[in-house]
């Protein structure tokens, strides 16, 4: 079976869009966010993702419903939940093995933001998949933070995904960006040459065909026009839409509502000067560590 | 000392050749059938710290000092500059009464200009009075062919003397002033040219920073496949590589070949050594010192090697695999940055010799063990690698050839005698740090000055 591909990035780094694109390659199966990196057994998963955090199960439930029954109806999702609850003893590895078996010989692509929350999560993935590929997607800390603040506003107004736990978060988005990036950069040292690749999301999205081709070349999969064309249609994924009532999300709600690529908008993606600072703090300078990492990623 | 029979390299000069404060075998050249070595004594705090140009006879093993810098009476300005330098070196010293006109030789080249009756030996030297270019017809008598600093006496030195299309090119390196001193960074990021250095006619060959104010210095010059290349330091976005045919009147038209540290951004802060091999240009990179730029908080990280073709395309030889506007770059050697050694901070010297490309590294591992090793024995020392095709590499020398305080391989020179290797040694500094931070009383390394090796 092929080794999976993980997109690793802080939240609000265009992972949904880029993941949606890469996941449409004929040799790849794009998964919704399954949040399997923080736990060792399915029992732990069910225990952790309950109550206000239940929304975190949506991706896995939709995936299981789709793989088992070829549909994501409310009934299929309810049966998937039941199926999962009967496998509390399963290890994460067993669940991954099951998913791969269902997916077949395609490369599984996964991009849960939870993967980057702690370095142990990333290391857990590497422990299960020592030969996995990791694509580090970067986004300017200023625009990523601004996007986080906008999403938070949507949540407060009840227009977005997530439970109470997300609505009440008050952390400065720069801290979230920095924590995830530090975890990823530390994790990078655990990887072999060629196992990790970094790309600026802004660069990729301005010229998706050119950069998606490089990602395919790196992964050793088809780079022909047909394969690239398929990647320009993330909306074709069965997961690129809202799910049934008990598993509505499993990805960024904005992406789920509108997964079609707006090429004109992407061409206008900006990278403001780092000196502009954090807009949500009145233009106050970014932290020293943020600036250091941002410059390393190519932001100036 | 690792001087076993199987290794083709052997020491031919040790411990600074009689001057333990001469820590840098800084420049090498082959001129009129003889090997020349230019030495540097970075301390530069008194009459004993003088640049020397020496020659080696491989038959007898003897070294001869052909030139030693004259001494000049110290002035108030000079003492202020020395004080600024000693501050940069991390050690305040007493102001000298007399000081060498030049304390180091940073670059050497053989060139015949319009005013030269025959090919002459030129040397770019380091001076607190402002760097100079020296000229010699006989390899023994050297005279300045520039004013101090050419047109700016705060330039510390001139590096990368490179003959190209009947002209001699160089770039200023380092700053010497009352307020600021640096071995590498310069007030102006420029290239100079002369068709007649003997006539002291120097012109600007480039505009300031090639038109980009974020370029802070020109670190490397090299001729390859009919182009003259110049590599910059750029702490904002990573080095840039330019090239010119040097046609028409100076300053010439330069075109950018590599940008943003070859898309590794500022982890490729500057170019370092460059060499032509197999019709291609090989470009090394790195961050001076310990692979970490303290002023701009960049790194630590290890250097890379790239291969630039005549058509301007390029390949990564070793380094970070990456997605770039120039296409996917996967290291052809299979090695990551620093040849998979994170301590190899700079590709510091490069040369072709008998059909193989050699490069030497600067390594900061001994400093790390001295400071953070907790009393553990020191490890490390420079490495020398070679390749017949630029892709398959063989390690020729490891761990400083048995000398752990030999932190850098600074110069390589191909000669009919063999391949000369010149080192940079930091015994005193490492011993001090090992004692201070790790309680190591004796690092068991008596040699302080540079070493020279010869390989066959």
| A44-79 confidence digits (pLDDT tens) | 999 999 888 889 999 999 999 999 999 999 999 999
Under 8 Å CB pairs connecting chains A and B tally to: 47
A211 to chain B nearest CA, in Å? 7
From B265, B328, B335, residue closest to A298, measured CB to CB: B265
Topology of domain A5-296, CATH: Rossmann fold (3.40.50)
Average pLDDT for runs of 10 along chain B of length 456: 70 94 96 97 88 95 96 87 76 71 97 97 96 97 96 96 98 93 90 97 97 96 98 96 97 98 97 98 93 91 97 98 98 97 97 98 94 89 97 96 94 97 93 87 80 95
A298 CA: distance to closest CA in chain B (Å)? 5
- Chain B nearest-CA residue for A201: B323
**Which of B297, B323, B336 is nearest residue A211 as measured by Cβ atoms?**
B323
A103 near B CB under 8 A = no
DSSP letters spanning B427-453:
HHHHHHHHHHHH--S-------S--EE
Whether B321 and A296 lie within 8 Å, measured CB to CB: no
The predicted model scores a pTM of 0.94
| Yes or no, beta carbons of B323 and A214 under 8 Å apart | yes
Predicted confidence at residue B94, as pLDDT, reads 62
Q: Using CB atoms, which residue from B266, B297, B321 is nearest to A193?
A: B321
Q: What is the per-residue pLDDT for A167?
A: 45
User: What residues of A are in contact with residue B321 (Cβ under 8 Å)?
Assistant: 193-194, 196-197, 218
- Euclidean distance between CA atoms A224 and B142, whole angstroms: 63
Q: What is the mean pLDDT of chain A?
A: 93
Burial of B375 (0-12, 13-18, 19+ CB in 10 A): exposed
What is the SS3 assignment for B104?
strand
Which candidate in B240, B323, B393 is best for mutational testing of the A interface (most A CBs within 10 A)?
B323
Q: Is A282 part of the contact surface with chain B (CB cutoff 8 Å)?
A: no
Beta-bridge partners for A60:
none
CA-wise closest residue to A103 among A129, A77, A64: A64
Tell me which residue in A199, A288, A291 faces B323 most closely, judged by beta carbons: A199
Partner-chain residue, chosen from B260, B327, B340, that has the shortest CB–CB distance to A298: B260
For residue B269, whether the previous peptide bond is cis, meaning omega lies within 30 degrees of 0, is no
Does A190 lie at the interface with B, CB-CB under 8 angstroms? Answer: no
Q: What is the pLDDT of residue B442?
A: 78
The answer to whether B444 contacts chain A (CB < 8 Å) is no
As a whole-number percent, the residues of chain A with pLDDT over 90 amount to 89
Residue B446: predicted pLDDT: 66
Q: CA of B259, closest CA in chain A: separation in Å?
A: 11
B190 Cβ under 8 Å from any chain A Cβ: no
A258 close to B (CB below 8 A)? no
Residue B238: closest CA among chain A residues belongs to which residue?
A: A298
Q: Which residues in chain A are closer than 8 Å to B267, comparing Cβ atoms?
A: 296
Q: Write out chain A residues lying below 8 Å of B260, CB-based.
A: 298
- Tokens 């070829």 map to which residue? A70
Find chain A residues with C-beta within 8 A of B330's C-beta: 194, 218
Chain B positions in Cβ-Cβ contact with residue A193 (cut-off 8 Å):
321, 331, 334-336, 340
Is B295 an interface residue toward A (CB < 8 Å)? Answer: no
Within 10 angstroms of residue A95's Cβ, the number of other Cβ atoms is 21
User: Would the CB atoms of B321 and A218 count as touching at under 8 Å?
Assistant: yes
| B336 vs B388: CA distance, rounded Å | 19
Inspect the interface and report whether the beta carbons of A295 and B335 lie closer than 8 Å: no
Question: B263 contacts in A (CB within 8 Å)?
Answer: 298
What is A248-285 written as a DSSP string?
A: --SS-HHHHH--S--HHHHHT-----GGG-BGGGTTBP
B212 touches chain A (CB under 8 A): no
Note whether B336 contacts A: Cβ–Cβ < 8 A.
yes
Q: Which residues of B touch A135 (CB under 8 A)?
A: none
| Under 8 Å between Cβ of B39 and B452 | no
Residue A19 Cα, gap to closest chain B Cα (Å): 16
Q: How many CB atoms lie within 10 A of CB A42?
A: 21
Backbone torsion region of residue B195, taken as left when φ is above 0, otherwise alpha when ψ lies between -120 and 50, otherwise beta = alpha
CA B13 to chain centre: 19
Output the pLDDT for position B103: 95
pLDDT in tens, A244-274: 999 999 999 999 999 999 999 999 998 999 9
Residue A298 and residue B263: Cβ atoms within 8 Å?
yes
Going by C-beta distance under 8 Å and a sequence separation of 6 or more, which residues neighbour residue B285? B239, B261, B262, B264, B268, B269, B270, B271, B272, B303, B304, B305, B306, B319, B346, B347
Phi and psi, residue A228, nearest 5°: -65, -40
Of B263, B323, B330, nearest to A194 by CB-CB distance is: B330
Measure the CA–CA gap between B417 and B384, rounded to whole angstroms: 18
Indicate which of B262, B298, B327, B328 best probes the interface with A, i.e. most A CBs within 10 Å of its own CB: B328
- For A1, residues 6+ apart whose C-beta sits below 8 A from its C-beta are A100, A105
Contacts of A297 in chain B (CB under 8 A): 265
* Average confidence (pLDDT) over A72-99: 97
d(CA A196, CA B337): 13
């Amino acid at each position: 079976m092929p080794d999976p591909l993980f997109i690793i990035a802080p939240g609000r780094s265009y992972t949904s869009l880029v993941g949606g694109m890469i996941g449409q390659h004929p040799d790849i199966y794009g998964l919704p966010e399954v949040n399997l990196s923080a736990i060792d057994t399915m029992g732990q998963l069910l225990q952790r993702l309950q109550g206000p955090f239940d929304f975190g199960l949506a991706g896995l439930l939709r995936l299981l419903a789709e793989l088992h029954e070829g549909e994501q109806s409310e009934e299929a999702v309810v049966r998937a939940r039941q199926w999962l609850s009967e496998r509390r003893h399963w290890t994460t590895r067993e669940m991954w093995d099951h998913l791969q078996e269902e997916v077949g010989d395609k490369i599984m692509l996964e991009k849960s933001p939870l993967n980057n929350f702690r370095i142990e999560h990333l290391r857990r993935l590497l422990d299960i998949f020592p030969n996995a590929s990791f694509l580090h997607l970067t986004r300017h800390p200023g625009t990523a933070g601004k996007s986080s603040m906008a999403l938070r506003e949507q949540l407060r107004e009840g227009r977005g995904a997530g439970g109470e736990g997300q609505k009440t978060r008050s952390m400065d988005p720069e801290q979230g960006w920095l924590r995830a990036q530090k975890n990823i950069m530390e994790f990078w040292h655990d990887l072999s040459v060629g196992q990790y690749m970094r790309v600026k999301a802004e660069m990729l999205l301005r010229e998706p065909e050119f950069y998606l081709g490089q990602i395919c070349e790196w992964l050793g999969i088809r780079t022909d026009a047909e394969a690239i064309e398929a990647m320009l249609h993330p909306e074709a994924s069965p997961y690129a839409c809202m799910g049934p009532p008990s598993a509505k999300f499993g990805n960024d709600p904005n992406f789920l509502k509108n997964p079609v690529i707006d090429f004109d908008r992407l061409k206008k993606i900006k990278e403001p000067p780092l000196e502009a600072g954090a807009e949500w703090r009145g233009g106050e300078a970014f932290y020293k560590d943020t600036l250091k990492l941002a410059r390393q990623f190519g932001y100036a | 000392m690792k001087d076993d029979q199987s290794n083709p390299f052997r020491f031919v000069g040790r411990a600074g050749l009689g001057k333990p404060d001469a820590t840098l075998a800084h420049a090498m050249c082959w001129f009129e059938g003889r090997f020349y070595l230019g030495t540097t004594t970075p301390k530069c705090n008194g009459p004993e710290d003088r640049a020397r140009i020496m020659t080696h006879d491989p038959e007898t093993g003897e070294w001869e000092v052909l030139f030693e810098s004259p001494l000049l009476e110290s002035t108030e300005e000079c003492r202020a500059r020395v004080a600024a330098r000693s501050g940069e070196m991390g050690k305040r010293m007493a102001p000298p009464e007399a000081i060498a006109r030049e304390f180091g030789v940073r670059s050497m080249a053989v060139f015949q200009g319009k005013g030269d009756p025959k090919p002459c030996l030129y040397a770019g030297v380091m001076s607190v009075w402002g760097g100079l270019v020296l000229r010699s017809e006989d390899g023994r008598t050297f005279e300045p062919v520039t004013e101090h600093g050419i047109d700016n006496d705060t330039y510390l030195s001139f590096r990368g003397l490179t003959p190209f299309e009947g002209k001699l090119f160089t770039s200023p390196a380092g700053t010497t002033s009352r307020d600021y001193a640096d071995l590498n960074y310069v007030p102006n990021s420029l290239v100079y040219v002369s068709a007649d250095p003997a006539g002291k006619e120097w012109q600007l060959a480039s505009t300031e920073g090639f038109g980009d104010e974020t370029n802070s210095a020109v670190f490397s010059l090299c001729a390859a496949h009919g182009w003259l290349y110049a590599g910059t330091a750029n702490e904002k976005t990573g080095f840039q590589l330019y090239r010119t045919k040097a046609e028409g009147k100076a300053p010439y038209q330069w075109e950018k070949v590599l940008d943003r540290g070859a898309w590794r951004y500022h982890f490729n802060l500057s170019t370092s050594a460059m060499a032509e091999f197999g019709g291609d240009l090989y470009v090394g990179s790195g961050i001076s010192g310990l692979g970490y730029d303290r002023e701009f908080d960049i790194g630590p990280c290890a250097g890379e090697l790239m291969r630039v073709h005549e058509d301007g395309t390029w390949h990564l030889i070793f380094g970070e695999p990456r997605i770039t506007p120039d296409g996917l770059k996967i290291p052809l050697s299979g090695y990551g940055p620093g040849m998979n050694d994170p301590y190899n901070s700079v590709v510091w010297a490069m040369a072709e010799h008998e059909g193989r490309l050699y490069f030497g590294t600067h390594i900061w591992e001994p400093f790390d063990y001295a400071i953070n090793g907790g009393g553990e024995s020191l490890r490390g020392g420079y490495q020398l690698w070679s390749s017949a095709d630029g892709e398959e590499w063989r390690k020729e020398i490891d761990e400083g050839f048995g000398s752990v305080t030999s932190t850098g391989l600074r110069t390589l020179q191909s000669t009919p005698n063999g391949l000369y290797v010149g080192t940079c040694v930091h015994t005193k500094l490492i011993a001090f740090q090992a004692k201070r931070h790790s309680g190591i009383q004796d690092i068991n390394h008596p040699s302080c000055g540079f070493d020279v090796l010869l390989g066959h």
